[in-house]
């Protein structure tokens, strides 16, 4: 999967947006929720390769790292909850899409719960 293919896929998720927020850096693309602005992915160039950081459940993150050479603890992010995925590596496109979906869901804003007050 290429950087552009991943961006194209991510934008099919309802409420997803992509932007280049860093001045003088058109390589880095942030994938975010359009309602909250919260990131669910960031695509960066690392050396000659593009990587995407995606949020992941910790046990699944460890599992994916053990299965694919192209999945490592996240570059510049919490290594328990985020993985870096090397685009164009041994990770199949369908798996990258699934990981993107998971990250999107895990970072989605939770509905606010109403506080209950005793005696009301």
Domain hosting 97: range is 3-107
Report the pLDDT value the prediction gives residue 115, as an integer from 0 to 100.
Answer: 66
| CA separation for the pair 89, 49 (Å, rounded) | 9
With 0.85 as the threshold, say if the pTM is over it. Answer: yes
Residue at 115 is within a domain: no
CATH number, domain containing residue 59: 3.90.1150.30
Please name every residue paired with 42 in a beta bridge, in sequence order, or none if there are none.
30, 53
Residue at 34 is within a domain: yes
Indicate the number of domains in the chain: 1
Residue at 118 is within a domain: no
| Sheet with strand 16-19: strands edge to edge | 16-19, 29-33, 39-46, 49-55, 82-86, 71-73
pLDDT in tens, the chain (120 residues): 999 999 999 999 999 999 998 888 888 999 999 999 999 999 999 889 999 999 999 999 999 999 999 999 998 888 889 999 999 999 999 999 999 999 999 999 877 776 655 554
Q: How far is CA 6 from CA 34, 47, 111, in A?
A: 17, 19, 28
Residue at 98 is within a domain: yes
Task: Return the SS3 of 103.
Answer: helix
Residue at 57 is within a domain: yes
Residue at 116 is within a domain: no
């Amino acid at each position: 999967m290429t950087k552009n293919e991943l961006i194209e896929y991510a934008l099919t998720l309802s409420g997803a947006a992509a932007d280049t927020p860093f001045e003088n850096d058109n390589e880095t693309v942030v994938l975010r929720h359009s309602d909250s602005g919260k990131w669910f992915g960031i695509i960066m160039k690392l050396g000659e390769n593009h990587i995407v950081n995606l949020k992941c459940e910790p046990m699944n993150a460890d599992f994916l790292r053990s299965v694919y050479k192209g999945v490592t603890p996240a570059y510049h992010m919490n290594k328990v909850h985020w993985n870096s995925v090397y685009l164009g590596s041994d990770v199949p496109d369908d798996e990258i899409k699934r990981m993107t979906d998971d990250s999107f869901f895990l970072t989605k804003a939770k509905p606010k719960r109403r506080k209950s007050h005793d005696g009301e």
